[in-house]
Amino acid sequence: MFDFEGKVALVTGASRGIGRAVAITLARGGASVALNYAGNEAAAAEALRLVREGGAPRAGLHRFDVADPAACAAAVEAIVGEWGGLHILVNNAGIALDQLVLRIKDEDWTRQLQVNLTGAFNLTRAAARPMVKQRGGAIVNLTSVVGEMGNPGQAAYAASKAGLIGLTKAVARELASRNVRVNAVAPGYVDTDMTQGLPEGARARLLEAIPLARMGSAQDVADAVAYLASEKASYVTGEVLRVNGGMYM
């Protein structure tokens, strides 16, 4: 168990999957958790219930589009004003609109970059101000094994996740002097809503490419995020922690 007593965290895309697991894990460590979601009210309400059950001193829902810079700035301002600070930001919100590069629509390319990359930038910029002022904080970005090794049919997704690695390293250098650490976690194939729809044949081929011979779990990723957000990682910044079962080394 990691100690997040007295910390305030914002987790994007927190209504389900990896984001929900991260929010619950931070709550179990004693953090107050603000959960961002895009539109699924039922899933968000269930995530909020689980975070409260996990022991978060305070928990709240924040519905906004991470691709909207004004909405991101307003959400951070509201959290800091209400809860007195922001110590942990987890940029998890993401979408995948898979299509071959010769067929992808312009709007689908743009939307993936806006959510997956620009969304993380919007919130990082907003959160950096209170973190710098309080001279401490941790930002964890959720990239992907696809951002490191590529994948057919996922040019836009791969580009956005690769860009997130560059963003992580650049901002880590900018904010290090103010004791704000910026790291990334690169999950492999995780058993979530996004992967459960895979045909059995495709799933079997995936497992053949993973040395540990299993899909990851949302909790596997959440534990890695919690480590990087915690004081246990106080001398770690600018890193990409791979959680992929050995699929990409």
Active site residue 248: no
**136 CB-contact burial (10 Å; exposed 0-12 / middle 13-18 / buried 19+):** middle
Angle at 26 between CA 187 and CA 148, to 5 degrees: 15
Per annotation, catalytic residue among 157, 189, 227, 248: 157
Residue tagged 């094994």 (tokens): 145
User: What tokens were used for 4?
Assistant: 């997040």
Q: Show which residues are catalytic.
A: 157
